[in-house]
Amino acid sequence: MSEPRSSESGFPIKGVYTQADLPEDLPDRLGGPGEFPYTRGVYSTMYTSRPWTMRQYAGFGTATESNARYHQLLRAGTMGLSVAFDLPTQMGYDSDDPIAHGEVGKVGVAIDSIEDMRLLFAGIPLDKVSTSMTINAPGSVLLLLYQLVAEEAGVPGTALNGTIQNDILKEYIARGTYIFPPKPSLRLVADTFAYCRVEVPKWNTISISGYHMAEAGATPAQEIAFTLANGIEYVRAALAAGLAVDDFAPRLSFFFVARTTLLEEVAKFRAARRIWARLMRDEFGAKNPKSMMLRFHTQTAGVQLTAQQPEVNLVRVAIQGLGAVLGGTQSLHTNSFDEAIALPTEKAARLALRTQQVLAYETDLTATVDPFAGSYVVEAMTAEIEAAAVELMERVADHGSVVDAIEAGFQKREIEQSAYRIAQEIDSGERVVVGLNRFTVDADEPYEPLRVDPTIEAAQAERLAKLRVERDDAAVERALGELRAAAEGTANVLHPMKEALRSRATVGEVCGTLRQVWGTYRPSDRF
């Protein structure tokens, strides 16, 4: 008999599962759909009353180009927009800053000021769409620009729905688009929680992200362990700032990957819900059921896409999307088949959306809640991942805090070891990647990728120069001075930040003001 295959998280997968593999306390671990500990889903009806929110991640070049893509996606039936920002925006620099040279508009849209945000959402009813923005260190800045543009269109903050990623801790672990040291960064997160509770109450103020750690090589157990540990740190930061747990926890959300290992991914999502529910109730004393519900967005695994035979990615994405739906996601982005090559073309983005629509409307996935409940294999895997994740979370806690563990390099080291193992398995052929190390072809069919206009950087610089000539510089300086004073003290920085942006201060000027007060993080810095 062959050796049992190992799961991505490291436990053996049996050839056959039986009732003996189920946890003895399974009824307590399950509960009902919409009931503690939410293993079977956060809502009692799940997709039987409405499907998940279908999002498509888009943003490239100029705000005008990205706006055109958003209108195309809305016409194609997408239910929510997800904005990708270019690297200068993610790092809090204007497009004409020397450090931004060569990166403007490359991996997302360039947003320098309120004028760009107006163009980005021109003609889009912001009271009717849900918008997710993948932005972290300057997340509060982009949220305020969005709110200002909505107010100009007559839409109050109370009517806005959406999410900012705003998850800075995972940036120190796996991604790198941080600006400030951790302590002021956590303060900014807590200030955003407090601001949105009053000003934008339906907004999800953070999307605590395992996705990027998974893309860096984290196993499913590592992905949820390190993500939930980060979640604990954010809860503690908000409590330390004087917020009550049930005042902010209902607006916490999460962001996970969906891989092609479908059964383990379903188990991962179910285990994550169960762990979080118990943490919020037992450790933090949450009373509101919504504070215990782990609501999450899922994106299919970009790292599993191949540039070789890219059409095969359509199959991979369909399987990954299926796993996310079977796992009970609240919203889903399906990657385009050509993203391993370049930014997705319009046709590729539409096909990615059609994948979700086939799952929602041509299958029977929406007919019943949590179809894998009671499955010998899935329930056994859910318990295995839960145990492995809890053990990893305890190892993080042994360092003192998430921040201490980051400083010690614990999470990064664990993820790198997993990534190295995966790379070795692919190189040796032990891990099959269709089209890459098995079932290859001599040459792929020609493909014409989407190209980003190289003149964007100069055009953005011209727009910035014009803005600086036309605006009231004295008003900008006064507003930035008030922001600086708030950052130096204990006041919530989002209120003066909004006024600075309203006066047409740029993203770079706002972030630069905070840099002057809080400093810039360097990986060798002590926390």
Instruction: Tell whether 407 is covered by a domain.
Output: no
Give domain status of residue 450, yes or no. no
Range of the domain at 366: 19-398
- Tens digit of pLDDT for each residue in 308-318? 999 999 999 99
Tell me how far apart the alpha carbons of residues 302 and 325 are, in angstroms, rounded to a whole number: 17
pLDDT-based confidence at residue 527 (cuts at 50, 70, 90):
very low
The answer as to whether 29 is a domain residue is yes
The CATH number of the domain holding residue 89 is: 3.20.20.240
- Please compute the mean of the pLDDT values over residues 339-346 and round it to a whole number: 87
Amino acid at 458: A
Per-residue model confidence as pLDDT tens digits over 38-86: 999 999 999 999 999 998 877 778 899 999 999 998 999 988 898 999 9
For residue 429, being part of any structural domain is answered with no
- Give the residue from 278, 227, 182, 130 showing the smallest Cα distance to 521: 182
Q: Residue 526 pLDDT > 60, yes or no?
A: no
Q: Burial, 450: exposed, middle or buried (Cβ in 10 Å; 0-12, 13-18, 19+)?
A: middle
Q: Round to whole Å and give the CA distance between 211 and 266.
A: 15
Domain boundary residue, one of 398, 417, 438: 398
User: Environment class of residue 347 by beta-carbon count within 10 Å: exposed (0-12), middle (13-18) or buried (19+)?
Assistant: exposed
Tell me which of 378, 398, 418 is where a domain ends.
398
The pLDDT-based confidence of 450 (bands split at 50, 70, 90) is low
Which pLDDT score, from 0 to 100, does residue 79 have? 82
Q: How many domains does the chain have?
A: 2
Q: Is residue 387 part of a domain?
A: yes
Summarize pLDDT for 468-479 with one digit per residue, the tens.
Answer: 999 999 999 999
Q: Kindly list the distances between the CA atom of residue 324 and the CA atoms of 318, 495, 498, in Å, as whole numbers in the listed order.
A: 10, 38, 36
- Last residue in a domain, options 364, 382, 398: 398
Tokens of 509: 């000027």
Whole-number Å distance between alpha carbons of 436 and 304: 11
pLDDT of 366 reads 97
End-to-end CA distance of the chain: 52
Angstrom CA distances, 390 to 274, 331, 400, 498, stand at 11, 25, 16, 40
Closest alpha carbon to 167 in 186, 151, 149: 186
Task: Give me the sign of the Cα torsion angle 168, 170, 176, 177.
Answer: negative
Give the confidence band of 524 by pLDDT, cuts at 50, 70, 90.
low
Strands (E), 92-241: 130-134, 161-164, 203-204, 206-209
State pLDDT tens for residues 151-194: 999 999 999 999 999 999 999 999 999 999 999 999 999 999 99
